[in-house]
Amino acid sequence: MNRLMKGFSLVEVMVALLLVALAAGVVSVTVMSQLEKGRARLARTEAKSLQQANILYRADHNSEMPQDLSALYPDYIEKKKIEGPWGKPYEIRVPGKHNAGSFDVFTTNPKGEEFGNWKE
């Protein structure tokens, strides 16, 4: 082979592409994991805000629970239909499964896991 030829061999190019693809795979897994954790935190925060709106509603309506969260609109929340980070609506459950003697406000992710106004 002529030593004056410049450039990369096919093996060198393939190794470089493999390393770039491997790095991209690691980064994408990390980013997706962090994105899912962020969605879970957002769901819990929004559920706690809806819990506070529900408490205000009950204070104004002789401790009566609303039939659903749309009853909180427009006096206590800005939107009539509230969806969680996964596009599923928030729900209210009385009595609460996680908040004994009270109520749960929650939404679910695509796996069916609940995220709501309770401590994890």
**Alpha-carbon distance 23 to 25, whole Å?**
5
pLDDT at 19 over 90: yes
Domain 13-116 CATH (choose: 3.40.50.10490, 3.30.700.10, 1.20.120.50, 3.40.50.300): 3.30.700.10
**Alpha-carbon distance 116 to 51, whole Å?**
9
Q: Which residue shows structure tokens 């805000």?
A: 49
> What is the residue extent of each domain of the chain?
13-116
- Size of the chain in residues: 120
100 CA to centre of own chain: 24
**Alpha-carbon distance 43 to 30, whole Å?**
20
At 86, the amino acid letter reads: W
pLDDT in tens, 65-116: 998 899 999 999 998 889 999 999 999 999 999 998 899 999 999 999 999 9
